Structure 1
């Protein structure tokens, strides 16, 4: 169709761009999840970047733009189990304040769960 509106994301080219962007975010998470679990620890790059990627994917999914490519809900649920297992096993070694530990874990759970919900309703 080419262009279907005046918005920044209302064209085939924009949809192509979004698919490239979202596929990259998903690929990064896939690689992190299949790599060395040490890289997912809370003080490591992917331990921080994975939830960031998931949050960005959720924001894009919530806009319902054409071209947003998301993983299957079951995949995100498996990522959640893997990620939180690493987080739970290593967070206490960083000696977080108990309140921060509780709040951060809730934020992480919410990050995975909101993406799963967005996938299911899309």
Structure 2
């Protein structure tokens, strides 16, 4: 077992734990996206809410300097974004949001996927 500092993630077991958490978050997104079931991605469905949350959590960990060993390729994340945002755009009007909220929410969704893609690119270096 290696320890290289006094921080919460500065040991082999802690790093392994972090990797397991990040892998779980990313694997959940990958599994839902691979299922090719657009209904799961609709904005009022669980994964329509949870996928951006998972990506935000991974990005927050990355931004804090806690890089996981395995991140998806940025191109994969870009594909996820196209699929996810496409479903969102086709279904959001059925929920009756205001135009302002739709613009703001869409911008946040796109920024979240873009942020994840950047983190994946940087982590691959």
TM bucket (normalised to shorter chain) is over 0.9
What number of residue pairs does the alignment pair up? 122
CA distance in 2, matches of 1:66, 1:50: 19
**1:58/1:115 contact within 8 Å kept:** yes
Paired residue for 1:100?
101
Structure 2 unaligned regions, length at least 5: none
Deviation at 1:68, TM superposition (A): 4.8
What TM-score do the two structures reach when normalised by structure 1? 0.94
**1:22/1:68 contact within 8 Å kept:** no
Deviation string 1:56-77 (CA, Å, 9 cap, x unpaired) is 0101111232545321111111
Deviation at 1:6, TM superposition (A): 0.4
The CA RMSD over aligned residues, in Å, is 1.3
Work out whether 1:4 is the aligned partner of 2:4.
Answer: yes
CA distance in 1, matches of 2:61, 2:73: 15
Query: Per the alignment, do residues 81 and 66 of structure 1 end up closer, same or farther by CA in structure 2, a change over 3 Å counting?
Result: closer
